[in-house]
Amino acid sequence: MGISDAMTTLVGEFPYALYGSVLVGVLCAVLGVYVVARRVVFFGAVLTQVSLLGLALTFVPPLDVLGHTGGALSLTAIVALLLSGLFSDRKVPRDAVLGVVFVSAIALRMLVLQKAQQVEVAEVENLMRGDILFITPGLFLFTLLLSVAAMAFMLLLARPFAFMGLDPETAEAQGFRARRWEQAFYLLIALVVAAATHLVGDLFVFGFLVIPPVAGLLLAKRVRGIVLVACLMGLLCPIIGLVIAFILDVPATPAIVSTAAVFLLVAWILNRSRH
Amino acid sequence: MKPLVTFERVTLGYGRRVIQRDLTFSIEQGDYFGLVGPNGAGKTTIVRAILGVLKPLGGEITFQTATGRAPVIGYVPQRDSVNLILPYTVGEVVMMGRYRKLGLLRRPGPADRVAVNASLEHVGMTGARDTPLKELSGGQRQRVLIARALVTNPDLLILDEPTNGMDLSSKSAILDLIARLHEEDKITIVMVSHLLDDVANAVRRIAIVDRDVLMVGSTGDVLTPENLTKIYRRDVRVGTLEGSTVILSGRRRGDL
């Protein structure tokens, strides 16, 4: 299969795979800039696993009334708020707290799915991985609305987020309530990660929270430039990755994330050659 | 001089943990005030209380300016506390000082840009406006952080360890800048530092704090060998060299 055949098949038969992966790619890449800048990258990885646990719990009555998306969003938001509180506890290091939640979420998910015997294993695996090729219009629309809300929120709060990220001590001294802004930031990330993980899977979401921002840091000299590079990668890598997946007949998500990794390698080489 | 900040039997701490008890002292309008003490003595806790970030567990902190309004407080944090991963330019960093005034919806206008430029000019950093903060030297970064505090037109400027980790030349330049802000712009200054020599030769009045100790007065009255030996638990000597105060620490007190 050639590139044009792959594109034709993709646009004709799997349009929501294209739209969904680009949407999540751009959104995670932009938010990822602030996640990487705040040194809470592992927080993104933890939330993807918590989101999957939330989704798994909805296979068990009576939590099934929440629906898969509702379960993932609710649990991820609750855990994100709890984590933002635990981060201020200086007795336990932040990465240790995240590690505990990470392994606990995976272990609990395994137990929950083991006991939820009424569902097909293949169905569960598809939901867990976020099968890109079978994104439904409804789920895409929901994620699109959430993304628009998240970006509007991000733009509205861009100044306090930037100030808190650069210098929380002085921001607090100027009257910005550090705790409240931290919670708002983590809640925003949690909602986006939960919805995006349900749509495209944990590997995709975590990959795009990290890889495009790091490439941006390597290539751009200004904050706007970093956001722009990350945004472009979020836009291009899913399209290129999907085309490669069709041509080589390989799974879509690993192809997309690998494409982003290759972009990052190129960015690193360009950065090295500049210095 | 009238008091700008007054601590009246103030107890400070976090939750049930008391850090300082019954603090009573004042910072006068137009003061150049030094706050010194060993690491962990509670200097930062007192600063957080002045900034209003930490509410007292007991007692009262009052503020009074010449015009009767609440004072505007500019804060310059320790340089190392600033996260430099994102390459914000000097202009962007100084503009952050205006964010509180701008609120969430209003974009920075010409008046804000004029204020930022004036602040940068004041600290001699006009040419660096478009340079990322992370590309500057320690002394230059300190100037930028001072400019960000000045952009709020403060009545009181609090500087946390402003000369820590600087070479002699940068340190002197920063201390000269702070002295100029005090003398020419009549800004009340509070300088927090563990570097006794720097504070002793710069400030007019000083407070030395330790767990259960607070001594406030002129540098000559407070920075005596007896007081410093008691607080630092070392044999401390105080002398003068060509008009400057020199403080030397000797053996641990238990070794004497």
B146 touches chain A (CB under 8 A): no
How far B255 CA lies from chain A's nearest CA (Å)?
34
A134-145: per-residue pLDDT in tens?
A: 788 888 999 899
Cβ contact B148–A223 (<8 Å):
no
Go through A139-152 and write b for each residue having 16 or more CB atoms within 10 A of its CB, e for each that does not.
bbebbbebbeebbe
Task: Report residue B152 as tokens.
Answer: 């709020």
Contact B75 A173 (CB under 8 A): yes
Q: Can you say whether the dihedral through the CA atoms of B164, B168, B171, B175 is positive or negative?
A: positive
Q: Using CA atoms, how far apart are residues A239 and A3, in angstroms rounded to an integer?
A: 11
Q: Do A221 and B104 touch (CB under 8 A)?
A: no
Q: Provide the token pair at B210.
A: 């330790």
Give me the pLDDT at residue A239, please: 94
Chain A residues touching B149 at Cβ < 8 A: 170
**pLDDT tens digits for A218-241?**
999 999 999 999 999 999 999 999
Give whole-number Cα distances, A69 to A5, A83, A140, in Å. Answer: 34, 21, 12
* 3-class DSSP assignment, residue A183: helix
Whether the pLDDT of residue B255 is over 80: the answer is no
- Mean pLDDT of all residues in chain B? 89
Distance from CA of A54 to the nearest CA of B (A): 33
Whether residue A166 and residue B96 make contact (CB cut-off 8 A), yes or no, is yes
Q: Tell me the shortest Cα–Cα distance from B170 to chain A, in angstroms.
A: 22
Q: Say if B66 is an interface residue toward chain A (CB within 8 Å).
A: no
Closest residue in A to B48 (Cα–Cα): A173
Partner residues linked to B17 by β-bridges = B14
Q: Which residues of A touch B51 (CB under 8 A)?
A: 172-173
Say if strands B32-36 and B244-252 run parallel, antiparallel, or are unpaired: unpaired
Domains and CATH numbers, chain B: 3-230 (3.40.50.300)
Which of B85, B89, B158 should be substituted to probe chain A, the one whose Cβ sees the most A Cβ atoms within 10 Å? B85
Of residues B208 and A2, more confidence is placed in B208
Sequence-ordered alpha helix ranges (H) in chain B: 43-51, 90-95, 99-102, 110-122, 138-150, 168-183, 196-200, 219-222, 225-232
Cβ burial of A203 (10 Å; 0-12, 13-18, 19+) is middle
Chain A positions in Cβ-Cβ contact with residue B148 (cut-off 8 Å): 170
| Burial label, A234 (beta-carbon count in 10 A; 0-12, 13-18, 19+) | buried
Average pLDDT of B154-181? 91
Torsion angle of the four alpha carbons A131, A136, A142, A145, in this order, in degrees rounded to the nearest 10: 90
H/E stretch holding B26: strand B17-28
pLDDT band at B256 (very low <50, low <70, confident <90, very high): very low
Q: Which of residues 180-239 of A touch B (CB under 8 A)?
A: 217, 220-223, 226
| ipTM of the complex model | 0.85
> Mean pLDDT lowest for which of A84-98, A184-198, B160-174?
A84-98
Length of chain B: 256
Residue A142, amino acid: F
In the block, tokens 């960093």 appear at B93
Task: Say whether A159 and B53 touch across the interface (CB within 8 A).
Answer: no
Residue A174 pLDDT greater than 90, yes or no: no
Q: State the best of B72, B96, B104 to mutate against chain A, taking most chain A CBs within 10 Å.
A: B96
What chain A holds in terms of domains, given with CATH numbers, is 3-269 (1.10.3470.10)
Dist CA A258 CA A253 (whole Å): 8
Find the length of chain A: 275
d(CA B173, CA B170) in angstroms, rounded, equals 5
Backbone conformation region of residue B241, classed left if phi is above 0, alpha if psi is from -120 to 50, else beta: beta
Task: Report yes or no: B89 at the A interface, CB cutoff 8 Å.
Answer: yes
